[in-house]
């Protein structure tokens, strides 16, 4: 598949941050138009939608995400990214496809091409969706709010995949809750600034933040039942400009992963309670401020629809190449599409690591690592086939 290999290398070498996927969208739209699809760009910002109508039958949606991450790639590949861009905070950052979205997009172009070439073998309508801003947890919502289903038709099922460091050629799947809900919050703690030599004249927000970070680690251990899954991570703590100056504020960034709304509510409430309590214990002059953002719901792979799709996978790939029971704490916003349309979502993980090319004991990079990039083959061939088999399972 030389054309697809070239497309993948091009996308990998030219990554774009969330909400900035202008070049990527153009490349994908240009690849889709010659295949007979009605193509619309700028859906939900930088999203691309292709529609291929082929007689009576169900509408089936295939989705791929297209945004990249602010990561400095260190893979050493000849087509490694050297791109830099300006993030929403105005900072110059490196950019790389460290999560594999370039592979997702390429696989979807390959599936769209082959399905177009075999129209005599199926009937219905293909809705091919290239979604921006997955890493922000908002791209799917933006496309829905831009009238995705009213403009292009409501599908019978939403189908999508994600490359992972599983053995290439393997597919992992789960039934029911598959990926966690994600919530992030920026917390601002307020103190009273002063000289580092006279802490008694100040209220130190750095100490306040430090106690808060430690206390937050007790939420999962002491407020969530051991039978449930939850994660609370403090990924950012920023305060001050000089070692002998007590600042007036401190900021912490907290991320939460949960698998049901009840536990989600417990953890969110506990975070705010602990932050407020630590601020009060420090004598803060103001209540802390909370900015909740990037909320992503639990991704549920519909049990019945998953069973139907995986039966087709087993026939095509062989049962030995399917890994059942996958559940991960990472998050994905693709479920927003199925929920908004009121239809099932089926999601699976695509193996992207050719262990035959690895030295014994060699570490395998995970998604979001600067060293992560899937092995192009057999990952690309498997990903294209998986989307085609899944689509054909639901088309007439």
What is the full DSSP assignment across 113-140? Answer: HHHHHTGGG--EEEEEEEE--GGGT-HH
pLDDT of residue 46: 98
Pairing of strands 157-167, 345-353: parallel
Tokens of 360: 């014994």
pLDDT of residue 356: 78
3-state secondary structure (DSSP) of residue 144: helix
| CATH annotation of 2-179+298-394 | 3.40.630.10
Specify the fold of 181-295: Alpha-Beta Plaits (3.30.70)
Q: Taking 80 as the threshold, does the pLDDT of residue 2 lie above it?
A: no
Q: What is the mean pLDDT of residues 142-167?
A: 97
Instruction: Show binding-site residues.
Output: 99, 101, 135, 162, 368
Q: Calculate what percentage of the chain has a pLDDT beyond 70.
A: 100
Mean pLDDT estimate for the chain: 96
**Torsions phi, psi for 79 (to 5 deg):** -110, 25
pLDDT of residue 381: 97
Please write the tens of the pLDDT for every residue from 218-269: 999 999 999 999 999 999 999 999 999 999 999 999 999 999 999 999 999 9
3-state secondary structure (DSSP) of residue 384: helix
Answer whether 85's CB lies under 8 Å from 16's CB: yes
| Residue at token pair 């189908």 | 159
Instruction: Show binding-site residues for Mn(2+).
Output: 99, 101, 135, 162, 368
Nearest to 201 by CA among 278, 287, 283: 283
Tokens of 353: 């690591």
Answer whether 157's CB lies under 8 Å from 307's CB: no
Q: Taking 90 as the threshold, does the pLDDT of residue 67 lie above it?
A: yes
Q: What is the mean pLDDT of residues 25-45?
A: 97
| Residue at token pair 């000289």 | 195
Bond from prior residue into 378 cis (ω within 30 degrees of 0): yes
Q: Indicate the domain borders of the chain.
A: 2-179+298-394, 181-295
Q: What is the pTM of this model?
A: 0.91
Q: Answer whether 2-179+298-394 and 181-295 agree in fold.
A: no
Sheet holding 181-190, edge to edge: 230-239, 249-258, 181-190, 289-296
């Amino acid at each position: 598949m030389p054309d697809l290999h070239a497309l993948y290398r091009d996308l990998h070498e030219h990554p774009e941050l969330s909400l900035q996927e202008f070049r990527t969208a153009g490349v994908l739209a240009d690849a889709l138009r010659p295949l007979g699809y009605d193509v619309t760009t700028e859906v939900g910002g930088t999203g691309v939608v292709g529609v291929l109508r082929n007689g009576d039958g169900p509408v089936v949606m295939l989705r791929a995400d297209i945004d990249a991450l602010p990561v400095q790639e260190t893979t050493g590949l000849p087509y490694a990214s050297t791109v830099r861009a300006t993030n929403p905070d105005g900072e110059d950052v490196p950019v790389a496809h460290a999560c594999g979205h370039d592979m997702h997009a390429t696989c979807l172009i390959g599936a769209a091409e082959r399905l177009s070439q075999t129209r005599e073998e199926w009937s219905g309508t293909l809705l091919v969706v290239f979604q921006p801003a997955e890493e922000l947890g908002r791209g799917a919502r933006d496309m829905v709010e831009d009238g995705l289903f009213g403009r292009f038709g409501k599908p019978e099922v939403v189908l999508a995949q994600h490359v992972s460091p599983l053995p290439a050629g393997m597919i992992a799947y789960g039934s029911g809750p598959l990926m966690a809900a994600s919530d992030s919050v920026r917390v601002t703690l307020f103190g009273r600034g002063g000289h580092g030599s006279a802490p008694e004249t100040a209220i130190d927000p750095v100490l306040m933040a430090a106690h808060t970070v430690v206390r937050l680690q007790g939420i999962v251990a002491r407020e969530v039942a051991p039978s449930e899954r939850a994660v609370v991570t403090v990924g950012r703590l920023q305060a001050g400009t000089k070692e002998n100056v007590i600042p007036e504020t401190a900021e912490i960034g907290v991320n939460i992963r949960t698998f049901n709304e009840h536990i989600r509510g417990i953890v969110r409430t506990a975070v705010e309670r602990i932050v407020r309590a630590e601020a009060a214990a420090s004598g803060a002059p103001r209540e802390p401020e909370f900015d909740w953002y990037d909320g992503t719901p639990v991704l549920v792979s519909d049990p019945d629809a998953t069973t139907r799709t995986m039966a087709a996978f087993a026939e095509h790939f062989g049962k030995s190449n399917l890994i059942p029971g996958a559940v991960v704490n990472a998050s994905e916003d693709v479920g927003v599409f199925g929920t908004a349309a009121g239809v099932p979502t089926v999601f699976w993980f695509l193996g992207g690591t050719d262990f035959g090319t690895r030295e014994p004991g060699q570490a395998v990079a995970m998604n979001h690592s600067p060293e992560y990039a899937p092995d192009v083959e057999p990952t690309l061939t498997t990903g294209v086939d998986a989307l085609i088999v899944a689509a054909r399972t639901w088309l007439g």
